[in-house]
Structures are given as structure tokens and as C-alpha cells.
């Protein structure tokens, strides 16, 4: 008897007044209805995507009710697919092993699209509870695949076969990446060590999840509410956003400074209320470090110890050596060498910046020291004094919608892409703020994919900005078009008024769009080749930031939000003259995080006190006391809520070397940043190949040589020795 029939039977029995106890029947009916809801949710979560564009996620219909049974079924189905490959009696070949593996997991991939949205864009206490339950199960699932000895022996046989040499370079790279993903994750260990390896991964999955959820809790729990009398120095645009944020939280008539970077940063830049600046600063930089149930220091210590133990099983001296082995840097020593080459110039520039700020602070406000919560405030005063440049004046020309159109223009010039918004409701979204565009080739009209945009901050959405895909480009098993997404945390203004953002936020907007273009430009055959090399994948997105300051973008898209007039030439000149302003602060806060991350992962962490280690490491680096790490350890989600950037945060600077060098290639070209020949090389060698080509080889194909660090030093206005 199926569940739908049981549910109908019980409901009809109640209506007919059968002799079963009313309370009992009601309880039974409720239980069956709940089971039915779970089954329906599970079925929808696992279902093939329907609708246009090769099918799209049913974001408007799915619920979390069935997520656990759906995940369990998807993992079981994937394991069954893997076992068929592992137990194939035929001799291992590229086609029957590597290619067959590429075909697996479609159900799970669809489910991950929904799971990722709940995790990052619309988290709730209910979901976090489910996430905590699922994390160790998912880790155990991956261990069953990576430790499947029969499967690994087949992969190794293909990897070591003569057949590989006859394959195309792209297929050879697929074999290499597949083999390394197993060999570097425990496949070569003995049974006892494999067991311990899997146990560590399960515990790490729990810790990473808890770390991220703790940070999100602190972002939600610490909000500073201002009265009208406490708005001194704040521009109208910030006041409007703060009023809207307070109203959203049931505090109409007040002004909310939320515990996110997009709210904190402008407040510290403009507020004349020094005590309030300190409070907002402390709230933000103390996330995960408040000595309460959401404190992350003990979690950091355990995470570091488990990571160290795990790579020890593989024979590595420390975690960073294992992590960087297949990155561009190859070793922690090489990464540290780059960072230490830049660090002295960065902190020397901080000394200069602090001296300039203190001179103004003493004269205007009688202060004796620049504190961390003063840096942005007085830096803005120095900017006005040195360059006659007012950040709020610049902001009046940076409308979010116009910037989006500017990004579309750049994509059209470089990639030949066109973007047209889908407004007929045929593509479901997970929140009313989300909008969707179809991406086509401008010349042929060929459909490339979809681009989803979720731009605004809200409760339950993690802070920061990021890009992701719901479906990646492949051609090996029928062409699959891209479903890409950009996500930001801009503070939403009043209905009917444009959202204005800072120059720095505009750069971030372009940056994340660079990731989306990297997804959309993909021409690879196999799914695995869409994976990224962490100290390389930030390069493409960093490079796209450079187009924000091109004349074509400034002249056509940066118009005043009230008058509609283009940004005046003298203001443009001031922006370009101030391009290297405050680089001491920007470089030092970033490098401090990257160096602490690397130090954490190159020592034996037995008995480590994370808070003490952070302080002592910064002291040894002679970290300026006026600056704090961009991401302090207790809320360093890049590193401790997962392993994507662990001992790899340096990658932004490694990629910045490539960025500065590649930007000079455009600057030197006859057509500048829109030179067609250089743009084509950019697409062909740096975007479309994804991970089908070794990043070092890909960059040489574009530039004709390796990148030079001197380009980075020139960009930042640092002396070159």
C-alpha cells in the first residue's frame, strides 16, 4: 500500500467519523502527511531539471524537508555507479574507467546545487542542524570512493599504461588529475591508515561546518543600532541603507550597522563617532572570538592538528607541503618567498600612511595615536588632502545596475557574449532579489548559458562575495551549457532608488564576474577539467577588475545617479592619480592573513593555542599595530570552514603577479585593453581551457614567457630592488 493511498485513506476516515480514536487518527494522519511531504521533497530534489535551457533548478519549489534522505539516496546511487566501474571484469582503459567515472554522480550534482544555496545564500537554524548531521555522512561517502582499492588499481593501470601517451593532451591531463585526486587523498595507504584517514575527514567535516556556522551566528547576532544624533559624518547613501536595514529588523526609526564588511567598511570610513567606530570594528573583527558558544579558537586548534596528522599518514612534513604540491607555487617555501619579497615594502608604506593620517588627526581632532578603527576614517581625510578625492563623491557615479551593464559591455568586447534578462518567469529563482540573464554568442546567436545574480545582503546569507556554478560546460556526453552565479552582499537601499557602492566594491563586483566569465568561456570536454588550481583561478577574476577603470567603462557607464551626467574628467584623473593610495593598508592586511595561514600550516600544531599563535606570528612579522589581519583566524572562513584556501590564501597574491603582468600586455597593445588580438589570446589560453592545460603552460602561451613580480611592485607603487 503506497504512502499516498495511506494518507488519503486516513483523511477520509476522519471525515467519515470512523470508530478509530480521533486523537490517534489525527496523529497517524499527521505522521503520514509528514512522510509524504518528505518523500515529495526528496523526489523533487533528485529529479531531472525541467524547463528551458536544458533544464534549470526548481529553486522555487524545493524544500529542505527531504534533504537528508535525498542526499543518502544520491550518495548510494553514486557509490553503485562507482562499484560497477571498479568491478568491471574488462581490462582497464581510458574509456571504461576514466570516462565512465566522469559520467557518474549526476543526481548528486543536481542536489549540490540546492544544498549550496541553502548553505551560502539562505541558511536557517533548521538547515544548519541538518548540515551538521550531513557533514560526516558526506565525508564518509567521499572516503568510500577515494579508498576504493579496486577502483584505484584501475585508475593506476590507465595512468601507467602505454595507452595514455596516445591520448590527446586534454585527455592525458584528465588521467593525471584523476590519479592525483586518489593518490594524494589516501588511496595508497594500508587498511589501518585508510581507516584513520577517513575518521579524520569525517571529524574535519563536522568542524568546518561548525566553524562557518559560528561565524554566521556572530554576523547575525551583533548589530549596532544608531539614533539620528549618532549619524555624524555619514553620507546620505549610507544613512538610507542603514535605515532600511533597521526597518527590516523591526527597528524602524533607527539605523542599523550590520556585522558585515559592506556595512562596517563605509561606517568606519565616514563616521565621526570614534567610540561607535571602535564598537563596530570590535564586533566585526571579534567574530568567532567572543568566548561564548560560537567561539572558534578551540575548533582551529583541532582542525590544524587533524590536518597535520592526516598528511603525516601520506608522508608529508606538514599540511602546506601537501597542499601546494599540485599548485603553481609547488611548495610553501616558494609562496613565502613571494610574500616576504613584498612584505617589507608594504609595512614601510604603512608607516608613511600612518604619519600622514596622524598629522591630520592631531590637527583636527587632537588624537595622539591612530587606532585600527581610525585607519579608514583618517585615510579618507588624507585622500581628500593629497588628491582632493572624496570617496563619497566617487560613489555617486557607481550605480549597481550601471556597473552590471558595464560588465556586460566588457564581456561583449572581450568574449563576444551578449546578455539578455529573462523576465517571463521561465527560470525559477530562490529569492525575489535574484535575477537571471541568458548568455549568447553575439555573432552566431549560440546559447552559452545562464547567469544568475544575487546582489544584496540579508539574514541567513554568508558575508563576502563569491561565484559558483549549478552546471558546468562539458561536451563528452552531450553538450552541457553553463549555469553560473554571482553572489554579493551589497547593502540594499530604499525601493526605487539606485544602490550606490564604493570603488573597492565595484572592483569586487568585476572580480566575481571574472569568475563567471571563466565558467561561461569553458570549452573543455570533461567535467573534472573545470576544476581550478587555487593560486591560478583568482588570476582571471583579478584581471577583469582592470576594465573598471578603462575609458570606455568610465565614459559610458559611470554617470551621476541624480543628474545622469558622466563622471567629469577631473574626477577621473584624481581616481587614476590615487590608484596606489593606501596600498600599505590593503597589502599589509591581506599579506598578514596569508602569512598567518601559511605559518599555521607549516608548524607542528600539537597543543597549539590559536589566539596566541596569531599574536606571536604577527609580532614576529612586526605587524603595524594600526592594522589587523583582513581575516582574523577565528572568522577566517577561507581557511577553516573548508579546505579550498587552507595554506593557499597566498594564492591571491600569486595570481596578482600574473594579473599585473597580463595587464601590462594589454596596456602595451595597439588597441589597449580592448585589443582584439590580445583579447583572443586571453580567451583561448587563459579562460576557455580551464584546467585542461597546466596553468604555467597556459600563461606562457598567452604571454610568451613567465610572469614577472616587478609588474606587481609597479602596480602598487612599491620600490623595485
Q: What is the pLDDT of residues 594-618, one digit of tens each?
A: 999 999 999 999 999 999 999 999 9
Mean pLDDT for the chain overall: 93
Sign of the CA dihedral running 401, 406, 411, 413: positive
Name the residue ranges covered by the structural domains of the chain. Answer: 3-46, 64-215, 222-285, 324-389+582-649, 400-527, 651-721
Grid cell of 439 as nine digits: 548568455
> Phi first, then psi: what are they for 482, rounded to 5°?
-85, 140
Residues shown for the chain: 721
Count of CB atoms situated within 10 Å of the CB of 55: 15
Task: Give the C-alpha distances (Å, rounded to integers) separating 87 from 81, 84, 353, 508, 580.
Answer: 10, 5, 65, 48, 60
pLDDT digits over 516-559, tens only?
A: 999 999 999 999 999 988 889 999 999 999 999 999 999 999 99
From its phi and psi, is residue 15 left (phi > 0), alpha (psi between -120 and 50) or beta? Answer: alpha
- What pLDDT score was predicted for residue 31? 54
Q: In angstroms, rounded to a whole number, what is the distance separating the alpha carbons of residues 428 and 470?
A: 13
> What mean pLDDT comes out for the span 419-429?
97
pLDDT at residue 126 in the model: 95
| pLDDT tops 90 at residue 670 | yes
Does pLDDT of 74 surpass 80? yes
pLDDT in tens, 361-376: 999 999 999 999 999 9
Give 133's DSSP letter.
Answer: H
Q: Identify which has the larger pLDDT, 7 or 461.
A: 461
- Is 154 within 8 Å of 86 (Cβ atoms)? yes
Instruction: In whole angstroms, give the CA distance from residue 373 to residue 280.
Output: 8
Beta bridge mates, 345: none
Q: Fill in the DSSP letter of residue 187.
A: T
Tell me what pLDDT residue 78 has.
98
Give whole-number Cα distances, 655 to 75, 580, 708, 709, in Å: 35, 18, 11, 11
Please state, in angstroms and rounded to a whole number, the distance separating the CA atoms of residues 444 and 416: 10
The H or E element that residue 131 is part of is: helix 125-146
One CATH from 2.30.30.30, 1.20.1050.140, 1.10.1370.40, 3.90.1150.10 for 64-215: 1.10.1370.40
Percent share of the chain, pLDDT over 70? 95
pLDDT score recorded for residue 663: 97
Alpha-carbon gap, residue 566 to 559, rounded angstroms: 4
274-285 vs 261-270: helix crossing angle, rounded to 10: 160
Q: Which three cell numbers stand for residue 501?
A: 557602492
Q: What is the structure's pLDDT at 11?
A: 28
Instruction: Say if strands 255-257 and 224-226 run parallel, antiparallel, or are unpaired.
Output: antiparallel
Alpha-carbon Rg for the chain, nearest whole angstrom, is 27
Q: Exposed, middle or buried by CB within 10 Å (0-12, 13-18, 19+), for 639?
A: buried
> For 232-289, how does the pLDDT look when each residue is reduced to its tens digit (9 = 90+)?
999 998 999 999 999 999 999 999 999 999 899 999 999 999 999 999 999 999 999 9
- Please write the tens of the pLDDT for every residue from 322-380: 999 999 999 999 999 999 999 999 999 999 999 999 999 999 999 999 999 999 999 99
Answer yes or no: is pLDDT of 4 > 60: no
Strand partners, 454: 487
**What are the DSSP E strand ranges found in 181-226?**
224-226
Distances in whole angstroms, Cα of residue 16 to Cα of each of 11, 12, 13, 34, 292: 9, 6, 5, 22, 55
Q: In which residue are the cell numbers 556586460 written? A: 408
Q: Say which residues have a Cβ less than 8 Å from residue 639's Cβ, sequence separation at least 6.
A: 597, 600, 631, 633, 645, 646, 647, 649
Mean pLDDT for the stretch of residues 90-105 = 98
Q: Is 400-527 CATH 3.90.180.10?
A: no
SS3 196: helix
What is the end-to-end Cα distance of the chain in Å, rounded? 80
- In angstroms, the CA 469 to CA 485 distance is 6
CB 53 within 8 A of CB 481: yes
How far apart (Å, rounded) are the C-alpha atoms in residues 156 and 291? 48
Answer whether 692's CB lies under 8 Å from 173's CB: yes
Residue 368 CB neighbours (<10 A): 7
The whole-angstrom separation of Cα 75 and Cα 87 is 18
Q: How confident is the model at residue 644 (pLDDT cuts 50, 70, 90)?
A: confident
The alpha carbon of 298 is separated from its chain's Cα centroid by a whole number of angstroms, namely: 25
Lookup: cell for 141: 561517502
Is residue 100 very low, low, confident or very high in pLDDT (cuts 50, 70, 90)? Answer: very high
Question: Residue 66, Cβ neighbours under 10 Å: how many?
Answer: 20
Contact 624, 371 (CB under 8 A): no
CA dist 101 and 179 (Å) reads 12
Amino acid at each position: 500500500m503506497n504512502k499516498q493511498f495511506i494518507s488519503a485513506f486516513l483523511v477520509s476516515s476522519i471525515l467519515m467519523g470512523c470508530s478509530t480514536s480521533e486523537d490517534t487518527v489525527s496523529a497517524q494522519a499527521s505522521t503520514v502527511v509528514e512522510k509524504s511531504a518528505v518523500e515529495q521533497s526528496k523526489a523533487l530534489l533528485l529529479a531531472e531539471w525541467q524547463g528551458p535551457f536544458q533544464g534549470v533548478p526548481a529553486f522555487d519549489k524545493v524544500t529542505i524537508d527531504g534533504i537528508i534522505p535525498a542526499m543518502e539516496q544520491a550518495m548510494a546511487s553514486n557509490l553503485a555507479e562507482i562499484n560497477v566501474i571498479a568491478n568491471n571484469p574488462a581490462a582497464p582503459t581510458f574509456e571504461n574507467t576514466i570516462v565512465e567515472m566522469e559520467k557518474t554522480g549526476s543526481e548528486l550534482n543536481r542536489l549540490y546545487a540546492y544544498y549550496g544555496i541553502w548553505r551560502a545564500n539562505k541558511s536557517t537554524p533548521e538547515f544548519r542542524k541538518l548540515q551538521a548531521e550531513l557533514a560526516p555522512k558526506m565525508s564518509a561517502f567521499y572516503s568510500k570512493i577515494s579508498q576504493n582499492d579496486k577502483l584505484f588499481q584501475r585508475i593506476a593501470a590507465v595512468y601507467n599504461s602505454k595507452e595514455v601517451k596516445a591520448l590527446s593532451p586534454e585527455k592525458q591531463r584528465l588521467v593525471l588529475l584523476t590519479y592525483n585526486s586518489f593518490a594524494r587523498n589516501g588511496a595508497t595507504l594500508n587498511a589501518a591508515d585508510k581507516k584513520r584517514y577517513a575518521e579524520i575527514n569525517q571529524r574535519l567535516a563536522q568542524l568546518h561546518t561548525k566553524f562557518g556556522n559560528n561565524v554566521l551566528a556572530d554576523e547575525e547576532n551583533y548589530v549596532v543600532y544608531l539614533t539620528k544624533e549618532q549619524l555624524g559624518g555619514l553620507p546620505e547613501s549610507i544613512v538610507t541603507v542603514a535605515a532600511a536595514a533597521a526597518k527590516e529588523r523591526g527597528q524602524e526609526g533607527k539605523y542599523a550597522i550590520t556585522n558585515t564588511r559592506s556595512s562596517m567598511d563605509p561606517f568606519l570610513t565616514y563616521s565621526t563617532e570614534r567610540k561607535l567606530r571602535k564598537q563596530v570594528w570590535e564586533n566585526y573583527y571579534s567574530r568567532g572570538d567572543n568566548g561564548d558558544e560560537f567561539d572558534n579558537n578551540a575548533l582551529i586548534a583541532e582542525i590544524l592538528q587533524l590536518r597535520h596528522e592526516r598528511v603525516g599518514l601520506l608522508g608529508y612534513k606538514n599540511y602546506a607541503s601537501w597542499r601546494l604540491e599540485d599548485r603553481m607555487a609547488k611548495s610553501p617555501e616558494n609562496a613565502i618567498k613571494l610574500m616576504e619579497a613584498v612584505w617589507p615594502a608594504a609595512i614601510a608604506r604603512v608607516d608613511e600612511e600612518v604619519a600622514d593620517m596622524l598629522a591630520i588627526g592631531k590637527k583636527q581632532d587632537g588624537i595622539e595615536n591612530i587606532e585600527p578603527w581610525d585607519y579608514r576614517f583618517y585615510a579618507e581625510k588624507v585622500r581628500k588632502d593629497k588628491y582632493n578625492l572624496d570617496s563619497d563623491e566617487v560613489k555617486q557615479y557607481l550605480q549597481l545596475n550601471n556597473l552590471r551593464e558595464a560588465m556586460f559591455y566588457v564581456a561583449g568586447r572581450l568574449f563576444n557574449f551578449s546578455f539578455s534578462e529573462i523576465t517571463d518567469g521561465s527560470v525559477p529563482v530562490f529569492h525575489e532579489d535574484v535575477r537571471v540573464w541568458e548568455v549568447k554568442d553575439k555573432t552566431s546567436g549560440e546559447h552559452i548559458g545562464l547567469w544568475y545574480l544575487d546582489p544584496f545582503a540579508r539574514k541567513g546569507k554568508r558575508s563576502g562575495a563569491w561565484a559558483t556554478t549549478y552546471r558546468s560546460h562539458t561536451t563528452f556526453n552531450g553538450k552541457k551549457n553553463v549555469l553560473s552565479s554571482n553572489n554579493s552582499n551589497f547593502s540594499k537601499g530604499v525601493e526605487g532608488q539606485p544602490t550606490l557602492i564604493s570603488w573597492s566594491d565595484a572592483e569586487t563586483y568585476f572580480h566575481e564576474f571574472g569568475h563567471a566569465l571563466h565558467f561561461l568561456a569553458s570549452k573543455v570536454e570533461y567535467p573534472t577539467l573545470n576544476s581550478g588550481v587555487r593560486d591560478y583561478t583568482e588570476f582571471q577574476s583579478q584581471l577583469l577588475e582592470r576594465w573598471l577603470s578603462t575609458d570606455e567603462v568610465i565614459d559610458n557607464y559611470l554617470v551621476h545617479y541624480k543628474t545622469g551626467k558622466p563622471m567629469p574628467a577631473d574626477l577621473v584623473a584624481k581616481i587614476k592619480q590615487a590608484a596606489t593610495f593606501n596600498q600599505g593598508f590593503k597589502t599589509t592586511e591581506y599579506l598578514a592573513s596569508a602569512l598567518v595561514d601559511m605559518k599555521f600550516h607549516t608548524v607542528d600544531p600539537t597543543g597549539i593555542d590559536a589566539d596566541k599563535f596569531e599574536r606571536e606570528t604577527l609580532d614576529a612579522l612586526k605587524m603595524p599595530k594600526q592594522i589587523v589581519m583582513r581575516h582574523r583566524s577565528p572568522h577566517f572562513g577561507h581557511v577553516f570552514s573548508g579546505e579550498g584556501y587552507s595554506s593557499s590564501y597566498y594564492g591571491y597574491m600569486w595570481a596578482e603577479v600574473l594579473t599585473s603582468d597580463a595587464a601590462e600586455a594589454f596596456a602595451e597593445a595597439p588597441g589597449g585593453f580592448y585589443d582584439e588580438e590580445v583579447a583572443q589570446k586571453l580567451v583561448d589560453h587563459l579562460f576557455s581551457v580551464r584546467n585542461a592545460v597546466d596553468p604555467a603552460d597556459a600563461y606562457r602561451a598567452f604571454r610568451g614567457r613567465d610572469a614577472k613580480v616587478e609588474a606587481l611592485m609597479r602596480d602598487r607603487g612599491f620600490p623595485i630592488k
